[in-house]
Amino acid sequence: MARISTYENDIVLSREDILIGSDKENSDVTRNYSVGSLVDFITLDAGGITNTNYYLSAITADQTTGIVTFTVTGGTNQTLDLGTAAFHDHTEYALSNVSFNTSQVVAQNDITAYYLNVADNGTSGQLLASDGDGSFSWVNAANNTDTNYYLNGITRNNNVLTFAVNGATNQTFTFGSAAFESVASIKTQLASGLSISDIDTSALGNLSNLDAVDTNQIETDAITTLKIQNDNVTEEKLKVGNAAVSGYVLVSDGADGLTGLLTRPVITI
């Protein structure tokens, strides 16, 4: 069977044309369906399509609310909220470059405590003071004194700085014990007071606590010829099977060792 995409398109349909599909009521078995049977299935009598004529029958606008209503016959009416400004002429608005004086916007004696960001009207004789966040509070005149607090001195006692404030309570700040120590002083204290017990050696491994390293701490094949100093391999470090004798030369023993032998020159007659 060729790929479906390779078949030619049938541009002339008839009721006898056949389509391939799956039968859901019978375990999705593949079946043939005629175009005519599908046309008969998708009909008004089958209830699959309802021919309802929805149409716009009226448009009304409420200028007091700014809402436009679209009346739909056979369906739900639709609304659009344009806002009340949409129904006013442009002559009713000022241009963006027009400037107004306060007197043109606010009448005399119109701004009362009600329009300020303050809790209430206060009491007679109170003053309006800023809260520092755009709001206000009523305060008594006796509490609204102008006190000039200022810094008039800084002193140090060991690692504590004292800020003397004229007209208010002095402030102190305690630095760390080494804040005023020189580098040389800190180095001297470390050199005289630091011991090995003050150092965390847990990450250094077992070798950090040894005075000497033996074969148990050296891995196999860890020592190479690059680690041996020149002219330091003597006869006693070689694997020789017999004792050293002056004049002997070393020859292989056929295994991994050496043997010392006396050799004489060969005389040919």
- Tell me the three state secondary structure of residue 196: helix
Q: Are 97 and 91 in contact (CB under 8 A)?
A: no
* Residues of the domain holding 186: 150-190
The answer to whether 43 and 63 have CB atoms below 8 angstroms apart is: no
Q: Does residue 207 sit within a domain?
A: no
Which residues in the chain show pLDDT less than 50? Answer: 44, 46
- Whether residue 244 is contained in a domain is answered as yes
Compute the residue count for the chain.
Answer: 269
The answer to whether position 63 is within a domain reads yes
Tell me which H or E stretch contains 37: helix 35-41
- Terminal CA-CA length for the chain: 98
pLDDT of residue 107: 87
- 155 and 181 assigned to the same domain: yes
Q: Are residues 154 and 136 in the same domain?
A: no
What is the tally of structural domains in the chain?
Answer: 5
Residues 110 and 85 in one domain: no
Q: Is the dihedral of CA 199, 200, 205, 209 positive or negative?
A: positive
Is 240 a domain residue?
Answer: yes
Residues 241, 259 share a domain: yes
Q: Is 175 part of a structural domain of the chain?
A: yes
Is residue 179 in a domain?
Answer: yes
| pLDDT value of position 44 | 46
Which pLDDT belongs to residue 163? 94
Q: Which two tokens stand for residue 206?
A: 């077992």
pTM for the full predicted model: 0.24
According to the model, what pLDDT value does residue 203 have? 76
* Judgement on whether residues 35 and 67 belong to the same structural domain of the protein: no
Instruction: Determine the pLDDT at residue 268.
Output: 59
Is 16 inside a domain boundary? yes
